[in-house]
């Protein structure tokens, strides 16, 4: 174009910038933008929308701030599309406070937010765990009669589920039921089942299931998983079997997450009868997983057989479900006093990369991070760590001054966390770990105390 003497106009610049931005060529975008500005070109709101989206995809807060500064310096008034783009960018950059300020600026300019605007802001608040801001936004939406849709309602419900806001979710759900155009759909019911399941409110969860069935709304696999988890924790195995059977009859195809949920319920079962009922459900969804559970219970099964069957199951499991599967299998072994098998499973899980961040070492401290483990797996990991340290002490090798165990402390209202159960297990072992007062979910032991304790233990005591 330049060689022929033609000069790009606003449309040309915006189009080429859009192409570069979609390709992620940030340097080319900025170079062309500066080149155009030098020739007297004045960018419009479409151009800034392109720039904002590009920086947002990269999570580049400085880039987003640059866009805002350029718009103000040129006197370009953002339209709703630009504001929506910048809000989404703020969310990806992890800037909830700036997103809130930008939203207020938009409202003060006289623009009315649409469903996309509000959904973006609710997602940002939910991710930042800003429950109060999200609920205040909801009240403003109702007062100002701002537009809503299914996505916005379900985003709000999912936020309530993530933060454990039961009463607020019930109000939202009732609003949906009274709405003319946004009555609850399958995902709305799933969010409520998740909330009641996390809260342990079995009666309301089952009422919701019956209501959903009466209305002819299809139960999806996620809703089925939430309900089964709730019933399993409450020990209502017969209801669990009923729900699973009905769900499968109505077209729900069990996925790895649902199988993991059933496996988790197996680990909670106190008697063989309940365990067999749950395994009969799991058999329909994942026969190889059930076969592995049976192998773990077999007294004459050697380690090589366990390893081969474990590898076969894990290789056919979705990546995000592999560690939960291993955690549950360890829990089942612990609950059935198969401690040696639990240690074998932890070794196999580590071997196949399911616990990549379990151990951390520096010159001054060693730590065990069990935040991604179940209760049984965390206990097994602690025992295994103590066995390893005992061997190091016997070899008289150098040790750091401090040892830490990280269990984390859940921020969710319903989160039980590992700290209490881990503390109990530490007490059972009489290990010299104490909870850090300044950091929840963190246990610490000094080298002197730990070495003294390890030297006083029988080899079998540490591995108990």
Residues 350 and 319 both lie in one domain: yes
Q: For residue 110, report the phi and psi dihedrals to the nearest 5 degrees.
A: 100, -5
pLDDT digits (tens, 9 = 90+) for 209-228: 999 989 989 999 999 999 99
Residues 58 and 100 in one domain: yes
* Cα gap 328→372, rounded to integer Å: 12
Q: Which two tokens stand for residue 10?
A: 């606003």
Co-location of 348 and 448 in the same domain: no
Q: Where among 79, 111, 143 does a domain terminate?
A: 111
Tokens of 397: 């090798």
Q: Is the pLDDT of residue 266 over 50?
A: yes
Mark whether 23 and 102 lie in a shared domain: yes
415-437 pLDDT per residue, tens = 446 788 888 999 999 999 998 88
How many domains does the chain divide into? 3
Same domain (yes/no): 409, 431: yes
Question: Is residue 217 a part of any domain in this protein?
Answer: no
DSSP line for 190-220: HHHHHHHHHHT-HHHHHHHHHHHHHHTPPPP
291 with 379, same domain? no
Q: Averaged over 253-269, what is the pLDDT? A: 95
Work out the number of other CB atoms within 10 angstroms of the CB of residue 97: 12
Stretch 34-52: mean pLDDT: 84
| 434 bridge partner residues | 444
Which parts of 95-236 fold into alpha helices (H)? 96-108, 115-127, 131-144, 150-163, 166-178, 186-199, 202-215, 221-233
- State the pLDDT confidence band at 458, using cuts at 50, 70 and 90: low
CATH of the domain at 441: 3.30.1370.110
Asked if the structure places residue 168 within a domain, the reply is no
Q: What is the mean pLDDT of residues 260-276?
A: 94
> Is 409 contained in some domain?
yes
388/299 same-domain check: no
Indicate if the pLDDT at residue 463 is higher than 80: no
Quick one: 299 and 376 in the same domain?
A: no
Co-location of 307 and 366 in the same domain: no
State the Rg of the chain over Cα: 28
Whether residue 351 lies inside any domain: the answer is: yes
Please check whether residue 462 is in contact with residue 401, taking contact to mean a CB–CB distance below 8 angstroms: no
Task: Report yes or no on 9 lying in a domain.
Answer: yes
> If residue 62 lies in a helix (H) or strand (E), which one and from where to where?
helix 61-74
CATH of the domain at 13: 1.25.40.10
Q: What is the domain extent for residue 27?
A: 1-111
* pLDDT of amino acid 460: 46
From the list 265, 257, 311, 308, the residue with the least C-alpha distance to 286 is: 257
Bigger pLDDT: 66 vs 459: 66
Which residue among 356, 376, 405 closes a domain?
A: 356
Task: Read off the pLDDT of residues 107-120 as tens digits, 9 standing for 90 and up.
Answer: 998 999 999 999 99
User: pTM here?
Assistant: 0.78
% the chain with pLDDT above 70: 97
Within a domain: 196: no
Flag whether pLDDT at 396 surpasses 70.
yes
Same domain, 6 and 70: yes
Burial of 392 (0-12, 13-18, 19+ CB in 10 A): middle
Across the beta sheet with 365-369, what order do the strands follow? 359-361, 365-369, 402-406, 442-446, 434-435
Whether the per-residue pLDDT at 413 is higher than 70: the answer is no
Final residue of a structural domain among 356, 373, 393 = 356
What is the H or E stretch that residue 379 is in? Answer: helix 375-394
Mean pLDDT lowest for which of 124-128, 320-324, 340-344, 354-358?
A: 124-128
State yes or no: pLDDT of 459 exceeds 70: no
DSSP annotation of 93 reads T
pLDDT the model gives residue 410: 54
Name the least confident of 45-49, 212-216, 230-234, 253-257: 45-49
Higher per-residue pLDDT: 178 or 278:
278
Query: Would you say residue 392 has pLDDT above 60?
Result: yes
| Percent of the chain with pLDDT strictly greater than 90 | 53
Binned at pLDDT 50, 70 and 90, residue 190 comes out as very high
User: Do both 323 and 349 map to the same domain?
Assistant: yes
For residue 347, being part of any structural domain is answered with: yes
pLDDT 10s digits, 279-308? 999 999 999 999 999 999 887 788 999 999
The mean pLDDT of the chain is 89
**44 closest CA partner among 6, 74, 23:** 74
Same domain, yes or no: 447 and 378 = yes
In a domain, 186, yes or no: no
* Res. 403 pLDDT band, cuts 50 70 90: very high
Average pLDDT over residues 100-111: 91
């Amino acid at each position: 174009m330049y060689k022929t003497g033609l000069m790009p106009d606003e449309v040309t610049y915006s189009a080429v910038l859009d192409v570069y931005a979609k390709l992620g060529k940030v340097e080319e975008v900025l170079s062309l933008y500066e080149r155009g500005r030098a020739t007297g070109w004045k960018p419009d709101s479409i151009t800034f929308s392109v720039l904002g989206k590009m920086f947002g995809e990269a999570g580049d807060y400085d880039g987003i701030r640059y866009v805002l500064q350029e718009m103000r310096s040129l006197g370009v008034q953002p339209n709703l599309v630009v504001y929506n783009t910048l809000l989404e960018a703020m969310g990806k950059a992890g800037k909830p406070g700036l997103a809130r300020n930008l939203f207020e600026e938009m409202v003060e300019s006289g623009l009315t937010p649409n469903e996309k605007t509000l959904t973006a802001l609710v997602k940002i608040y939910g991710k930042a765990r800003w429950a109060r801001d999200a609920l205040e936004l909801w009240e403003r939406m109702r007062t100002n009669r701002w537009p809503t849709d299914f996505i916005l309602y379900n985003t709000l419900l999912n936020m309530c589920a993530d933060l454990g806001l039961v009463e607020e979710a019930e109000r939202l759900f009732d609003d949906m039921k009274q709405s003319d155009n946004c009555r609850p759909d399958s995902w709305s019911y799933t969010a409520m089942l998740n909330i009641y399941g996390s809260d342990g409110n079995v009666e309301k969860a089952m009422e919701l299931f019956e209501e959903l069935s009466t209305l002819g709304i299809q139960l999806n696999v996620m809703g089925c998983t939430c309900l089964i988890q709730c019933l399993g924790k409450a020990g209502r195995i017969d209801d669990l079997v009923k729900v699973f059977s009905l769900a499968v009859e109505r077209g729900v195809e069990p996925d790895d997450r649902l199988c993991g949920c059933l496996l988790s319920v197996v680990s909670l079962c106190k008697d063989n009868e309940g365990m067999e009922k749950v395994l009969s459900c799991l058999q329909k969804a994942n026969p190889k997983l059930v076969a592995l559970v049976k192998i773990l219970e077999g007294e004459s099964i050697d380690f090589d057989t366990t390893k081969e069957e474990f590898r076969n199951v894990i290789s056919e499991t979705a990546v995000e479900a592999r560690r939960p599967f291993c955690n549950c299998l360890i829990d089942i072994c612990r609950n059935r006093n198969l401690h040696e098998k639990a240690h074998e499973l932890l070794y196999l899980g580590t071997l196949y990369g399911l616990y990549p961040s379990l151990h951390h070492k520096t010159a001054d401290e060693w730590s065990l991070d069990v935040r991604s483990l179940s209760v049984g797996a965390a206990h097994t990991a602690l025992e295994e760590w103590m066995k390893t340290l005992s061997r190091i002490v016997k070899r008289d090798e150098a040790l750091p001054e401090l040892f830490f165990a990280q269990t984390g402390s859940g921020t969710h209202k319903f989160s039980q966390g590992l700290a209490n159960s881990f503390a109990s297990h530490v007490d059972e072992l009489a290990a010299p770990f104490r909870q850090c007062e300044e950091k929840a979910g963190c246990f610490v032991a000094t080298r002197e105390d730990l070495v003294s304790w390890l030297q006083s233990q029988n080899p079998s005591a540490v591995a108990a």
